[in-house]
Amino acid sequence: MKKHVVALTAAASLILFGAPLSVASSATAPKAGTTCSPKGKTVTVGVKKYTCVASGKKLVWNSGVTVSAPTTTVPPTTTTTVPVAAIPVTLPVAQNGTITFANIQDHISEISAAAYNAIQATYSSNKAVTNIPITIQVGPNSKRTDGNPDPKATVLKTMQLWSGFKQGDTAGLVYSTVADADWAVTTLNAVSVCGGYNTAFVTKPGANMGLCYSGAGVGRFLVPSTGTAESDYQKYAIEAHEYTHSVQQAQFKDTSFATAAGNDLGRAVGAVTPCWWTEGQANALGIGIGSPTSSIYSSLRKQEMSGGAPGVSDFSATAIQNFLINQVPWACVSDPSGFQLGYSIGALTVEALVAIGGPQSTMALVYREAKGDTFAQAFEKVYGISWASGAAILAKVVASEYATLNGR
């Protein structure tokens, strides 16, 4: 109560003592010589100001004096320079499509189609990337790539999908069998400039691609022996998956994270990004841009996103939420089961985010991390919802999708 009395008193003092006594300018002009009160009172009418003055023993209005007409100061026009965006999307991304965080649980069956269509639409609307040279080398005993009839075309499509984001200066893809190990080591070290490739690495099953601190993108692909059938994943998606890893790393080039990691850009990404995102993004977007048709996408999606991991049997929403929130960056590299789930649970999570905010939103999150945000901070800046709230929603969606993919 007392605060209200003090406030009222202060306001009243402004009214009574803070402004000079005056009469509105729309009043009728007083007649010179007529009585007035008190002394000093003024009236302004038009451009003349009348004052109550002493005349003998009386107070009367004078004949008025001309005053300057009021002027209006027009503030100078200023030009605002809009900075050029470092990424091709505005944050937070718009949620104006069919699927949003608010309704995604009611549209679970539509997520995969929405994500695939969003990837194709973004690719089609983006400009082709023509300034990154691509080289493809196949080992003398390999005689072929991993089954993709045109790996260069797949890489070009992936480059175009990520157009507007930082990418490497070059892209070199090296295909070899175990019999080509020595050749592969020599070739990869020459392509990368950074070096560090050895026999143990080049003979590991699968593929890897990253970005050397020099700007060279380097991918190595261990291909099946001659006569061994390739999988559809190798035929359509593996190059897109691996090239996406190099784009993740490009966001961290020339950052403090890169310096702290000794310019190992893969480690720089891993220092702040959970493994489920690193692999989930590459898998979801790799399949999405690599699949020439929606039916192939659906087939590869089921193949890749239904997988489990040794020792993991609980795929409830609660378990998935805990997995998404609690996986520790970099430490997860040494957790085979947690890392493995990135290809399935991580990919389904990223796919849902593509359906909500488009494919570019997922790389925008990596970009924000490279700028110093934690994963949770980056997520909220990109999607306009806290990571805690988003994870709770996504976990329910992914639990349902995973169960469906596995016929449960």
Q: Other C-beta atoms within 10 Å of 100: how many?
A: 15
Q: Measured between alpha carbons, how far is 221 from 234 in angstroms, rounded to an integer?
A: 10
Q: Measured between alpha carbons, how far is 315 from 283 in angstroms, rounded to an integer?
A: 19
Express each pLDDT in 183-202 by its tens digit: 999 999 998 878 889 999 99
- Of the candidate ranges 26-30, 135-139, 231-235, 280-284, the one whose mean pLDDT is the lowest: 26-30
Q: Measured between alpha carbons, how far is 245 from 255 in angstroms, rounded to an integer?
A: 17
Q: Record the pTM.
A: 0.79
Contact 283, 348 (CB under 8 A): no
Tell me which range, 47-61, 93-107, 217-231, is most confidently predicted by mean pLDDT.
Answer: 93-107
Provide the pLDDT for residue 28: 65
**Mean pLDDT of the 22-48 span:** 66
Q: Would you call 59 helix, strand, or coil by DSSP? A: strand
Instruction: Give me the chain's average pLDDT, please.
Output: 86
Express each pLDDT in 241-256 by its tens digit: 999 999 999 999 999 9
DSSP string, 327-386: PPTTGGGG-HHHHHGGGTHHHHHHHHHHHHH-HHHHHHHHHHHHTT--HHHHHHHHHSS-
- 3 has a pLDDT exceeding 60: no
Q: Would you call 261 helix, strand, or coil by DSSP? A: coil
Strands 216-222 and 170-176: parallel
Q: How far is CA 337 from the centre of its chain?
A: 27
Q: Other C-beta atoms within 10 Å of 335: how many?
A: 14
Triad 47, 53, 56: Cα angle to 5° = 145
Count of alpha carbons within 13 angstroms of residue 89, beta-carbon side:
25
Contact 52, 63 (CB under 8 A): no
DSSP string, 206-258: SEEEEE-TTSEEEEEEEPPPTTPPPPHHHHHTHHHHHHHHHHHHHTTTTSHHH
> Residue 140 has what DSSP assignment?
T
Provide the pLDDT for residue 228: 62
Phi, psi of 334 (to 5 degrees): -95, 10
Express each pLDDT in 54-102 by its tens digit: 887 778 778 777 765 444 444 444 433 333 348 999 999 998 889 999 9
Q: Measured between alpha carbons, how far is 195 from 133 in angstroms, rounded to an integer?
A: 19
- 312 has a pLDDT exceeding 90: yes
Provide the pLDDT for residue 84: 39
- Per-residue pLDDT band for 172 (boundaries 50, 70, 90) equals very high
Provide the pLDDT for residue 82: 34
Phi, psi of 78 (to 5 degrees): -115, 150
- 46 has a pLDDT exceeding 70: no
Q: Measured between alpha carbons, how far is 89 from 165 in angstroms, rounded to an integer?
A: 10
